[in-house]
Structure 1
């Protein structure tokens, strides 16, 4: 992992992105890293804009706001339109192509994945798409370990949903593995 990674998780209200940001930051802290998490959302309870930002660093965090993210997750078309162009050159843009049909031009590496659709089809509930996305983020970046991410998920989700959320997290890690498998020379 680089010394500092900046994440922007964006989509619509009700997709659980604020919770995902809190879980990601908590996992980093559990590993002894420094983390800052901020959030913003529109006045609508569901359907309005939603954004969580997380900075994870091995060292001190000088400024608590994401300036130019290394990783952007866009789970709605509005989020993609607004944030896809604001990713560090060579960074990661992860798109939920269940809802994002037009991917703006960017200098980032783009992963367009059916996150919400697969949460619905393989886990049984679309509401865990945020946890699938966390598995993808951690799997692609190595920002936090699987173990601490599982611990953070289990500490933040409602009782009785543990197996559902762990299945969603596993799906995210599986999806990330399809892009990170090393081919022997």
Structure 2
């Protein structure tokens, strides 16, 4: 089965590393197939940045998304630009302190996380992308946590592995709690009605 994913935000948020880790976890440590393509805005740091990741249990013939099954949005611009292209029953994951969710069809499943704040609690704001990878792993159900641990260890400098694994766990725990929270306990973002898988 083919799963189309887009990670999007702005330069400096580690969008490409996050996408690369997801693809690496699937292709190398889960034994599947993955492709990744990337694009930047006019300036690398601060400009728009996005990466398309396709995961499949069969060889992938076309490496671009057509309509995303999962959108991970870390900026308002990313949400505004890419949310309309999601599948109607897609999974939307947002950095809830940077993205105001509005104008969706209401059939999407949506979850938010204060990834920047959680990263700052670890002492390094730059690991917000890895917090989002953990959140993604918990809510997408794509791959075992151990596969992500291995992909992270293979993708970041040796001295930063522990910090990044802690960031992943923070995001994963937050996502796991969100997935099992009764609807009455959820907090809506904007006027969106939240939907569960």
Q: TM-score, normalised by structure 2?
A: 0.86
Unaligned runs of 5+ in 1: none
For the 8 Å contact 1:80–1:103, the answer to whether it is kept is no
Which residue of structure 2 aligns with residue 108 of structure 1?
A: 108
Does residue 1:153 correspond to 2:116, yes or no?
Answer: no
Mapped partners of 1:108, 1:102: distance in 2: 12
In structure 2, the residue corresponding to 1:21 is in which secondary structure? helix
Kindly tell me the number of residue pairs found equivalent between the two proteins. 180
Does residue 1:144 correspond to 2:136, yes or no?
Answer: no
Q: 1:167 to 1:42 in 2, by over 3 A?
A: same
For the 8 Å contact 1:56–1:143, the answer to whether it is kept is no
Deviations 1:108-160 (A, max 9, x none): 11112211122112x22110010011111111112121111110101111221
Mapped partners of 2:94, 2:181: distance in 1: 23
Q: CA deviation at 1:24?
A: 0.8
Tell me the C-alpha RMSD between the 2 structures: 1.5
Deviations 1:22-59 (A, max 9, x none): 11111111211010111111131211000011000012
Q: TM-score, normalised by structure 1?
A: 0.92
In structure 1, the residue corresponding to 2:112 is in which secondary structure? strand
Moved over 6 A (4+): none
Q: 1:124 to 1:70 in 2, by over 3 A?
A: same
